[in-house]
Structure 1
């Protein structure tokens, strides 16, 4: 799954705070967007080590957000995530993967075809359900 070009990310700076499974999934989805992806964490999954992203092996600090256009909070530490929200400027868009009420945007399950894009969103309420709906659409289109 990649993220739709409903938001043009080519050459935009995207910062992901966290190095676990959720951060890996976010980075994987962003790879085809042309964004400049930076991942900040004390440790990274093996897959993140293999990706073409800029990795900063460190604990989060406010300076890590300085150039970010989009920010993903992907840590399992609620205090760190809250600090990220506090440190971000009003011009930066944030997705707190642990608390949708603190998010400016939500990812969508997407099906990209040559001449169209289908995007399903549950407004951050149930990403698994969005993927299930998209899978049904995909199966229907294949029949």
Structure 2
């Protein structure tokens, strides 16, 4: 049995490899966490270019992981994603956005209120379904 965990990311280093749509979505979701976000990619989406994050405009290198606590593999190159997994240290947590079997954690769809947080997860199987369930909760509908 696994237990969901919510991480306190304030001041933690989060590294996202990739500069496309998935990387943008991950960075957007992390903006309010207080994490130190670094995105590494040769090209960034327009939205990533506007975000208050650290950007390194180059191809992935193992040294990019040195200070990372969380790592998101968001490239469309399986060889690069595999190399990131190999280069990560045992204490670093990885989310391979292309292969959930190689992920240490999954993002959850969340609804934050002043006095509570509701988090929905499909264990990485169907993020769209998690968002649908959360939307139904927002609307007060039966699930």
TM band (smaller chain): over 0.9
Output one character per residue of 1:40-81: Cα deviation in whole Å (capped at 9) or x when no partner.
000000000000000000000000000000000000000000
In the alignment, the residues of structure 2 paired with residue 21 and residue 35 of structure 1 have an alpha-carbon distance, to the nearest angstrom, of 20
Report the CA distance between 1:6 and its aligned residue.
1.6
TM-score (norm 1): 0.94
RMSD: 1.0
Report the CA distance between 1:132 and its aligned residue.
0.2
TM alignment of 1:74-93, pairs within 5 A: 74-93=74-93
Give the count of matched residue pairs. Answer: 137
TM-score (norm 2): 0.94
TM alignment of 1:41-56, pairs within 5 A: 41-56=41-56
Which 5+ residue runs of structure 2 have no aligned equivalent?
none
Matching residue of 1:32:
32
Which 5+ residue runs of structure 1 have no aligned equivalent?
none
Q: Does 1:126 align with 2:126?
A: yes
Runs of 4 or more, structure 1, over 6 Å off, are none
**Which structure carries more relative contact order (alpha carbon 8 Å, separation 6+)?**
1
